[in-house]
Each structure stands twice: as structure tokens, then as C-alpha cells.
A and B are shown apart, each in its own frame.
Chain A
Amino acid sequence: MTLLEVQDLRTWFAKEEGEVRAVDGVSFHVGEGEAVGLVGESGCGKTVTALSIAGLVPDPPGHIHGSSSIRLRGTELVGLPERRLRRFRGKEVAMVFQDPMSSLNPVRTVGSQISEVVRLHGRLGAREAKRRTVQLLREVEIPDPDTRYREYPHQLSGGMRQRVMIAMALSCEPSLLVADEPTTALDVTIQAQLLELLSGLRRERKMGLLLITHDLAVVAELCDRVVVMYAGKVVETGRVKDVFSQPAHPYTRGLLGSLPRIGSGRRRLAPIVGGVPDPAGWPSGCRFHPRCPHAWGRCSAELPSLRRRGGRAHGEEWTVRCWLEEEPLEPTPDVGKGP
């Protein structure tokens, strides 16, 4: 059975300027023990997708459409009463957030914040919970865990705090970890350590991972599959090695093309022109068409559907949302060839 199955997720926000369709029909899945990267520029709906999965979208103003479906091991989470949803949160679906500086409660010790989860879902006594918490701190490689247990977040460095967040997330052996830009706020050396820790712990526990990031290198390193989002929709999904070596969607190509690469000489970076459009009014047709170097008449008129890339040997799960897939142009311009 698939661990997480998201189908036609629509999370809209009622704002003064109208309905903001932050996530607008997103479908993807995460298998048991699989690591999936969710990538895209800021403002394309990645975080809202993550919050929707954990049932943490503030309602109002946010609202997940009734037609959406989020299944965790077959249990439908959309429309589940808050009380039952709470049993999944922290236990089955755990989250690690972007900014470890602000994600921990400043007035409580890190130990109490972790053991709280252990006691809530594991129904452990105070002493048991403490023992388990110290053990978790050790597992995330925090030195001197007995002392750290009694310390407050401000006494820890950013990297340490994120380790605490990871310990908290892992405390109840969740089947799915949703990590929303877990290393963006940290400096590069710490990033590498944390990612290594995260992928090690994940493999040990055979835990599913949804890694939200705009760092494609991280996805290449850690993930089995990748989901590329643009403007509230999925534009391309597939195995990391397929998508990154032969990106099919012009947006994926653009993302890869904007990366600097060692050994590629003095190649100019090819940024994607323009910015992510305002979610209060997505462009018509293919939402990427105003920025797409290959856009043609049909692109602005009709929204292409997510199609399987047929007739090729690259797995069964490579899908792309682009008119070029249906009516390929003759010469493919040399924009950002993959590695």
C-alpha cells in the first residue's frame, strides 16, 4: 500500500483580494520508506502542501476542498474531525520546519518539548519519557544529552536546535516525515551534516520522507523521486535520475539551468525570466507560459494535463504537464542540459 497518496489537493485561502489558490489540484504519492523531493520556487505552494498533509492549514482563512484526498496508509485525512486528526499528527506524520530559531518554544526546556510528544502519543510515564528523550537526543548526535535536556532553545546553536526538532519529529517513530526546507536557515557545513543525519535515520527506520526544498542538489543526494511544483500545480514528477538528467518540462529545465556547476567552464547561468505570478490570479492555460521560452498559442489558452511520458524505458512514473510533450517542437533548444 502506498504510504501517502495525495490526490487533487486544493487548498485555497479566502483573502481580501479574492480567492488565493495556493495549492490547486496537486497529486503525488510517497511510497513506504521512500524519499520524495518536492521542489519549486518560493511561493509555488510547497509549504501549503506540507501543512495540508499535516492538517495544519489555518482555517479560516485556508480551506482544503472537499474533493481533495490525502490518504495515509489508506486512511482519508481530509474531512477527518480534529480530534482524530490529532492522533496522526506527531505520531504518524511528523514535521520538521524551516527555521529552528523560531520553531522551538523559547520558555520551555528542549527536553520537556520532546518528552511532551513521547508522553502524548506513547503514553509513557515521566521517567520513561525522559529516558526516551535523552536517548533520542543521543540518536540525533547531540553531545552531552543529559545536560542538553535541561537547556533552553536559546542556549543551543541553530544546527543543534534543528537536531532537537528532528529528535522531536522522530520521537514516535512516524511513518512519514515531512521536512519543510529543514536546512535552508543553516550554514552550509551544518546543512551537510544534518542531511546526512536525516537520511541515515530515515534509512534505519524505513521511514517515508517528503522533503520540501528549493535546493535541487539536496534532492539529487537524498531522494528517490522528485515532484516539481509551479504555481500551485505539479508540472513534472519522476525518478530523480530521469528528471534531473533529461528534464522534460521547460520549468524543470529552467530550474536546473539556473544552477552553477563545477567543471562546466565559464558557462553563463540561465535564470528563468520573471518571477512566480501572484497566486491571487494565476495565468490562463499553462501557468508557466508567460515565462516559458517555448510557449506557443495553445499554451496560453488551455491547461495541459499531467501525462505519462510514453514509449520510453524510464520507469512508469515519469509524468509531465506540458503541451510540448504532446506536440514536440522540432529542435530542442540547448537550455540547461542535465548532468
Chain B
Amino acid sequence: MAATVTSRVAGRFGPYGGRYVPETLVAALDELEHAYAEAQTDPDFHLKLDSLLRDYAGRPTPLYFAPRLTESLGGAKIYLKREDLLHTGAHKINNCLGQALLAVRMGKKRIIAETGAGQHGVATATVCALFGLDCVVYMGEEDMRRQELNVYRMRMLGAEVRGVSSGSRTLKDAINEAMRDWVTNVRTTHYLLGSVLGAHPYPTMVRDFHRVIGREARVQILEKENRLPTAIIACVGGGSNAIGAFYEFIPDKDVRLIGVEAGGRGSALGEHAARFSGGSPGVLQGTYSYVLQDDNGQIALTHSVSAGLDYASIGPEHAALHDSGRAEYTSATDTEALDATLRLARTEGIIPALESAHAVAECLRLAPSLTPRDILLVNISGRGDKDMGILARELHLSGA
């Protein structure tokens, strides 16, 4: 008689999520899950994390009313949540500080990470310097080329950046390589995954470390406007800044939650990273979610001008929010994102990361159709310094 095995439900968002990994990693995922659960009930952990977020990272971040952008669009009032003002220049530091504290609790002295745009890699290298941990960051060679500045920042901070030359040489391939490292060095190494992706407990844990975005924004908008926003808009690669911005508002049914994927340069498979319009449910890199794939289940190549959105799958909680209709997902093209970057720079003096510019692009489309009674809250997840090379080329800034 064959024994029956009960399917576990931990780490599921509707049918999505779960844990699809080589057996070697399960013990480490269990260890992490337990360490995280313990930390959550430990006041000392929260005290340490809150103090680091405040004194080191620069929280709370402002919620800024954007008057000239609002006026120029002639519709909804636009507020920007300024995650770009955080130390290292993006929301990624929220999660890195949390996971670094966990790594120290677990006695792991070596940290590995993947990075796409380099913002998570920089944040990881930063916390490793802060806590005296060894740091190896995997990065696709294509991303190393287009986000060169962040490669230097990581090296400056003492991290080893390992280029990945397989596949499309972008984020997905960097995650494969990081998982191969982890499966080999799992006893001494913590994998500091940078988005709400991968096997349980990562999607839940990383979300929790970013919930502070929405928690602050909710208090701030109530202080300023005494009402909740009409919609919250955030870009979605893996989806960590979006879930962080959305999460506290999920029970507020009147608040629209809008995720913006990378529309790239066309709707054919391989030309974009719009998982909900072009993908279907599947398993990639440890989790069950929407995946861009071909008819044979091979993962498709993706394209986006922004390295941080250039990924074939999406966090499983977003898949559940999509299916339930609680959140809406749309996309912005490379061109729209570039235009939005320029528009925000020229109206408000803020250069957003190309990733965040996808959220701004949706705001530009939506705001004119709304009334001045409406409020749009746009999460500016990172700043655009890292993209100056691409922007100089695409927007002809060389002045010649």
C-alpha cells in the first residue's frame, strides 16, 4: 500500500505559492521559516529593525504631494511615496535589513543574493558591510552592462559580483545561479532573496518587511487628506514594492490597487514582461505563479528597458490578487516609461528609477480621467541615478 501524503498549505495564496525546490534546500527553508516566526514574536528583533529603518535607512519616507504634475494632468491629486529617498536609493533596503538580522540570528556568516537592476544587490552589499558578513551577488551580464554604476557600488561595499552568462543573462538567470550556490553551501549561507518570489517563506517574509511602505502611506494620506486614496499605483517585477504598498489597503475595498508590469517593446512573447496578459500558471524557481512560457513549458525570454522588471514570473500573492480581482494589473511600454521619467523630472524635479517610471506612466494615463476629488498614490520605489546611462542614450542627453 502506498502511503498518502498530505499537501501542505503554508505559504499558499489561493492556489499560488508553495515550495517547489530541490530536497537539499528544504531544511534551510524550514530553518528560515522557524527563525522568522521566532523573530516575529521577539520584541528585541522589532526594536532593532525599527531602529535601523529609522536611523540607518531613513524611514519614514515622505508622502509628497506633487503639485505641478497634478496641475499639468488636470485630474486627480497625485501623491508620491518617496521610497527613492531611502538609503541606497530604493525600497530594497527594508527587506535587506530584516533578512540580515535573521541571518545573524541563524548564525550564517555568508550571504548570497541575485540582482536585476542592481538595487537589491546594492542594498544586500550594504547590509553585509553593516553586519560584517561575506557577500556574493549574482547578476546577469546583460544587467551588469546596463546597470554598471550599481556594479561599482556593490564592489565598493566589499561584495563580490559574479556575472551570469546563461540564458538571457538577466534576473532569472541570476536567480538560477544563486540557487545553485545555495544548494551547495546551504549549511553556512543565507540566500537573501530580493523579491516576493521563490519558495515559502520568502514571498510572505519579504512582503512583511515591505509592509511598512503601505502602513506609513495610509497614516500619511489620512493626515493630509483625511481620506483614503482612489488608487495606489506601483510597478511590478517580482512585486515587492507593490505588495508592500498595497498590503495595508487590501481590506479597504474602495481603494483600487494597480500594478504596472513591463510592456517592453511589443506584445509578442520575448518582447515584454507582462505576465498577466502573456503568461499562464506554472512553476519557476520555487513557486507556483503566472509565468511567461511557451507551449512546452519552457520559460520565455523577456524584455524591458528596466532591468528590475525584466523577469518571467511574478510573486504568487500578486497572482492571487489578480485572480480575485482585488488588484488590477496593467503594463507600460519602454517608451511610456522613458516619457514618464522625463515628465516627472521636469515637473517635480524627481528622477525616478526606470522601474518606478512604469508606475508613473500609468498615473499619467489615469489621472486626467479622474476628478480633483480623486487621489492617486504612486509608489516611487527607487531613484533613477543608476539609469543615467540608458536615459542619456534614449533621451539624447549628451547635448552634442
A binds B: no
List B residues at the A interface (Cβ < 8 Å): none
Binding site for B on A (CB under 8 A): none
